[in-house]
Amino acid sequence: MSPRAGICIAALLILVAASGCGSSSESIITTPTPPVQSTADTTSLRTYASRRNVYVGSAIDRGFRYPGSDGVTFRSTMARQFNMLTAENDMKHDRIHPARDTYRFDPADSLVTFAEANGMRVRGHTLVFHNQLATWLTSGTWTKDEAKALLVDHITKVVAHYRGRIAEWDVVNEVIGDNGSLRSGFWLDRIGPEYIELAFRTARAADPTVGLYYNDYNIEGISAKSDSAYAFVRDLLARGVPITGVGFESHFQVGGVPTSIAANIARFAALGVKVHITELDIRMQLPSTSGLLATQAQNYRDVVLACVSGPACDTVVFWGFTDRESWIPSTFPGWGDALLFDSAYQPKPAFTSVQSSLK
């Protein structure tokens, strides 16, 4: 007999004894009311994701360090729901390399340690970007050779520091402009187009096995910009540049998700690279309504399915998970509520929709 059956029989005996069998009291037969059963699926996103060998993640930044119970809830929700983590800002140039001869790894190290303690993969974000560069770099006057040496030093130190602990790096971030040509910025302006190849080769030399990605926005669906990104990646591959994949940032508006994401993933996959959804959020104009939240849920489902339904895309990372902590309200005034959990860490319709898309 199972222990559970034993407990039931013991409980029955107690009930019989308590009912006063054989006494003269009137017996009243009532229909027992069944306990109210919640139909909510409490299985975590990472449980479903790992059953199908995919990764579901979130970027984290300030919330990770919230004091008190807020921080506890933030970190425990993160660890419970996700099997991948991205540093939203802590690995960017200005944070990790604040002075020419100073690297400050501690904040990013704490994220990587948290990820390891909770069985999560880490996406490194990002080595080469036109934004969030330290002032010592952007305010200096550098020759082309000096700028190349600075790029090589930065990539080598950061990638070597995390060798074996980071699964993929966004090596170059947002390097194509909206017009389809290379975006002007510190590195292109000082070094010229060769900085991109130099970045990938330097990252590969510093870690022989880490995934190396080009990450950008407005390349998720088939469009003029994603045609340029496609030609860019094909050219890198033709020249033997070590690139593993492409990150589709995926900062969308409710009702504005491109319908050609799956087709676009397929054409990149046919080149021989992987695709990750790297920064997914779907913002709405505030105040939110139940209709907007329902459309948002459908939109999330469409993006997640576009990734996980094919073999080339095994990673979906959200740009945060709680509306308590998101870059949207400050970057797009009047917009918000872009994530899976509300500000009180309660799951939104979008959460349930992502959860069922991962089943």
- Contacts with ligand XIL by CB under 6 A lie at 61, 88-89, 173-174, 249, 279, 327
Check 88, 168, 279, 325 and give the catalytic one: 279
Check 168, 174, 220, 249 and give the catalytic one: 174
Q: What is the DSSP letter of 358?
A: T
92: Cβ–Cβ under 8 A, 6 or more apart, which residues? 125, 126, 129, 131, 132
**Cβ 71 to ligand XIL, closest distance in Å?**
18
In 3-state terms, what secondary structure has residue 171? Answer: strand
**Cβ 185 to ligand XIL, closest distance in Å?**
13
286: Cβ–Cβ under 8 A, 6 or more apart, which residues? 334, 335, 336, 337
CA distance 59 to 55: 13
CA distance 185 to 189: 6
Amino acid identity for residue 138 in this structure: T
CA neighbor of 221 nearest in space, from 270, 262, 272: 262
Nearer to ligand XIL, 217 or 300 (CB): 217
Main-chain dihedrals φ then ψ at residue 142, nearest 5 degrees = -130, 140
**Cβ 332 to ligand XIL, closest distance in Å?**
11
Nearer to ligand XIL, 279 or 302 (CB): 279
Is residue 169 within a helix (H) or strand (E), and if so which, with residue range? strand 168-173
**Cβ 36 to ligand XIL, closest distance in Å?**
41
**Cβ 184 to ligand XIL, closest distance in Å?**
17
**Cβ 327 to ligand XIL, closest distance in Å?**
3
Nearer to ligand XIL, 272 or 334 (CB): 334
Reply yes or no on whether 279 is catalytic. Answer: yes
Nearer to ligand XIL, 173 or 226 (CB): 173
Contact between 222 and 260 under an 8 Å Cβ cutoff? The reply is yes
Strand ranges, E, within 206-333: 211-216, 245-248, 251-253, 274-285, 315-318
**Cβ 105 to ligand XIL, closest distance in Å?**
18
Nearer to ligand XIL, 207 or 279 (CB): 279
The tokens describing 188, both together, are 């292109």
CA distance 96 to 286: 35
In 3-state terms, what secondary structure has residue 159? Answer: helix
The tokens describing 300, both together, are 């999330």
Taking CB positions, which residue lies at the least distance from ligand XIL?
327
Q: What is the DSSP letter of 250?
A: -
Nearer to ligand XIL, 71 or 329 (CB): 329
Is residue 58 within a helix (H) or strand (E), and if so which, with residue range? strand 55-60
CA neighbor of 348 nearest in space, from 336, 359, 339, 357: 339
Reply yes or no on whether 116 is catalytic. Answer: no
Nearer to ligand XIL, 88 or 314 (CB): 88
Which residues are catalytic, by number?
Answer: 174, 279
